[in-house]
Structure 1
Amino acid sequence: MSYLREKIPTEYDGRKIRDFLKEKLNLSTRLIRGAALDKRIKVNGAAVKMNFILKENDNIEIKVSKDESQNIKPEKINLDIVYEDEDILVLNKKPFMVVHPTKSHQSGTLANGVLYYFNETNQNCIVRLVSRLDMNTSGLIVIAKNQYAHMALSNEMQSSDSFQKRYLAIVHGNLKEREGTIDLPIYRPQVESIKRVVDDRGQRSITHYKVVDRFKDADLVECLLETGRTHQIRVHLSHLGHPIFGDSLYGQEDSEYILRQALHAYGLDFKSPRIKNTLSLRADLPEDMKKLIEVLKKK
């Protein structure tokens, strides 16, 4: 079972519990309403309504876990677990794996494997994705184990620069500047197409980049996302004239070198939902990108 426990400070003496939950704990109205209806919010051991008046030093306990189900078939899949606590699971996704079931990918997805893992370890959780990656992009993905963790991390990702997503990409050619910022809007010109373009009609998109290693007519580039648009890194680097190796959508196929876009979500920095300590998680480059680098070094 997963609980939030708090002692009421002086400034909330005489105020409604709803105010404390919203202002102090930053809980959403939806979470509060659901927990209250399920009698998962207690003061000094007794379930209360949301107009309950608090007293200093009252003890609040909120059960954030609840019985849930999901229409995903559990499948035993080897998972690379980078970090886990009572609120989150962070995985290093291998290339060519779909994150969540779709009409064309009903099984073999990361979510199928995660649900099996939750069942196997007696964790009553569903798969709540905090972040996503394209099928052919490898790297770190965060999964929340409860509604509270999902809400807290989603808010942090939207409204704070403390949630940092770092990628490594291998691109064609040598960038003119070894580091800089790409601040160009990204637009989807056709609804039926997945391809995006740089266009003034699009949403503002910001990518900070730095060349980590330089080869003959290729660079290993670190990208730090300030915004999180679909295909953002791929669109921005291609627009600069440096498409990612293997990116057939925004560049060209490079099947003699690599069978997918050479893009890896290697780093995540964020605050844990409950304790608020900073987590700095890293995932090593996958073998196909390491082999590509060795080929480029020999040129």
Structure 2
Amino acid sequence: MHANTDSEVTSLSASSPTRSPRRPVYYVQSPSRDSHDGEKTTNSFHSTPVLSPMGSPPHSHSSLDRHSRQSSSSRFSGSRKMPRKPHKPWKEGHVIEEEGLLELQPPPNTLPRRCYYLAFLLAFILLFSLFSLILWAASKPMKPKITIKSIKFDHVRVQAGSDSTGVATDMISMNSTVRFTYRNTGTFFGVHVTSTPLDLFYSEIKIASGNMHKFYQSRKSERRVNVAVMGNKIPLYGSGASLSSTTGVPTVPVKLNLNFVVRSRAYVLGKLVKPKFYKRIECSITLDPKKINVSLSLKNSCTYH
């Protein structure tokens, strides 16, 4: 379609004087432009009818046509374009400078691994020591209980003799047996039991002695212990005058003293926690010549320290 020229408009108006002049219609064709981001869109035609007044010069139509194309093109391209933020290029000098600053910064304040190992070891030692202390404190009140039951004199004889230097004196020989009970009151540990020699004294002279065999006593258990206390030809010197007789057996009661120490060691946590218990026992005994081979009760004759 093309626009009508001015000559055709004049001829039409001359041939038809009674008919009103017909205004020509102009169409502006605007091609679609490419978008800013590189994507192509399909060509579309926007036909804009432009009514031109009668007798307008050709240059005015062209200027109007150009103005319409510019406005429609600006509207179309404005609707398709999106504003973009300006992009700042990275400068290599800045990157190198920042990397240098990162390298110069001190490392974070972190402890080395061996410090953690040392802390763990110290904490373990502390907890283990605390646990051992608790076990030791719990086991300390659980002392063993020892009760001296009796003593039996199997043989007693006093006779004249001489000591190792040849000095004449009365000498005594005897065999006896001491009986007592040992009870372990510990609820969670056993004990190893030993003892000092059981010494029997007459007027500060040791006339007999015996050794107890060591043993192990499990928790919350009890046993009876028999210890042989014997003496063979022990010099009495001046103290034996009251014991001598024609038969060799004392005729009057004789006061004797028995003392020894029982030692108990508990292994609560192996050899790390091993509380010790000591019991010193002293008994006052009366040797009655009429009660040879008879057990003499010592329940009320002993003291325990």
Alignment TM-score, normalising by the size of structure 1:
0.25
Higher helix share: 2
Higher strand share: 2
Alignment TM-score, normalising by the size of structure 2:
0.25
